[in-house]
Structure 1
Amino acid sequence: MSSLRCHVFVSALLFISIVPFSQQVLNEHNQKLEWIVGKWRSEFSGKIFWPTVPTMTFGEELVINEAPIAKSANVQFLNFSARAWSHSTKDHFHDEWGFLTVDPVGNATLMTTGNNGFTTYETGTVSPNKLVLTLKDIGRISFSRDLPVEDLRRTFIRHDDRYMEQVIEMRTATHPKVGYLEHTRVVYTKLK
């Protein structure tokens, strides 16, 4: 991803974070994601797995809410934010902000940027209570200490009215050679 596109995306995120919006009604395409909209939180059910790091537990808050239609593009995105922390030490792990939408033929797109130095563009399919996204493009700052991510699959599954799960699987430059390895799994409770 070019540095110009990253700069524009980050600038838009900063604008979104400081300008309050009124709650909007989901358009006909984004109604397919109505089940994911809300504030979700896990205090300690998140698990990190990776061959080069110790397995650990984390908490995370995920907020997905309606946003106004961008008149310049006539597209409605959902605002997406995630904040994760260590369960044991309460140290901050990372933040992730972005936008989620569904196009007229039912394809979902999630664009995120995080304070870990990554910007991602993911696409996939949405079905009742399930969203599966795969990486299409990734940008990263030059001095990131993480191994280069080569592929990623993110799955959201809503189990019932109270619980939703997110699983992130990925492949880096060193693990695995093909396919994906599970990196994180977290079960959220929906907050009122």
Structure 2
Amino acid sequence: MRLLLFSGVFLAFVAPTVQQCVDSDGACSSWVASDRGACQRKEYIKKNCRKSCGNCPIYEAKFDTRRLNPQLQPIRQLVGRWKGEHTGKVTFPTIPTFKYSEEVEISIPDGANIRSLNYTAAAWSSDKEDLHRESGYITIKPNTREVILTTVMSNGFITVEEGPMFGNNIKFILKDIGRISFVRDEHLHNLVREWTLDQGYLRARLSIQTLSHRMQEHTSILYTKTSV
């Protein structure tokens, strides 16, 4: 029997500091105005005149935490696009151990009154085979540090997970699960998903328990933040 419940792995995030896009030399605007090609030819100007050269990164509105509902501020560092290229590992007694890649996107929905983040995850094998997808929402119980994650998975599972946030760590514990009637995976009995934020990286670990196997690690991965 096959179990692939990717996201929920031990996630350790390290959110990089986003630098302001400015010119660090006061002469940049005049240099670039007189010689636009200097932005490509001269390394000093390319590095220190980003604003005048038009080399500023494009910030996507869905990752702009200034738009975040105040209730969600404690989890603002989760917002972004995270990718682990060949850094994931799947293991369980009923399947062979193998490596995988995955991209996770946690974004801000349109509408100032929406008190949740959008969540999607897609995993693929070393030969680019689509392995697993899931989507859902992340929110916080009002006036607490209790974080809630709901997911719908491509393998037929639906989960409700809740857990406390301590510092940069969130530990979700399965509260409820649904499944389509013809799902073929082993009967999932319990699930623990850990996320830890840590300066630009996201580490994730998912542990599961089935009716025939004790609680044990199923997936783990290290992501790098790819959005700005």
TM-score range, shorter chain: 0.7 to 0.9
The letter of the residue matching 2:207 is E
- The answer to whether residue 220 in structure 2 is matched with residue 185 in structure 1 is yes
The letter of the residue matching 1:62 is V
- The answer to whether residue 93 in structure 2 is matched with residue 51 in structure 1 is yes
Give percent identity, aligned residues only. Answer: 37
Residue ranges of structure 1 left out of the alignment (5+ in a row):
1-21
Quote the residue 2:202 is aligned against. 164
| Larger RCO (alpha carbons 8 Å, 6+ apart) | 2
Match of 2:119 among 77, 80, 102: 80
Any idea what SS the aligned residue of 1:76 has?
A: coil
Cα-Cα RMSD = 1.7
The letter of the residue matching 2:218 is H
The letter of the residue matching 1:48 is V
User: Is 1:69–1:76's contact at 8 Å kept on the other side of the alignment?
Assistant: no
TM-score between both structures, scaled by the size of structure 1: 0.80
Cα distance in structure 2, aligned partners of 1:141 and 1:153? 21
User: Is 1:94–1:114's contact at 8 Å kept on the other side of the alignment?
Assistant: yes
Quote the residue 2:105 is aligned against. 63
Structure 1 position 81, deviation (Å): 0.2
Structure 1 position 106, deviation (Å): 1.9
Any idea what SS the aligned residue of 2:155 has?
A: coil
Any idea what SS the aligned residue of 1:33 has?
A: helix
Any idea what SS the aligned residue of 1:29 has?
A: helix
How many residue pairs match? The answer is: 164
- The answer to whether residue 132 in structure 2 is matched with residue 107 in structure 1 is no
Spell out the pairing of 1:148-163 with structure 2 (5 A cutoff): 148-160=187-199, 162-163=200-201
Quote the residue 2:73 is aligned against. 31
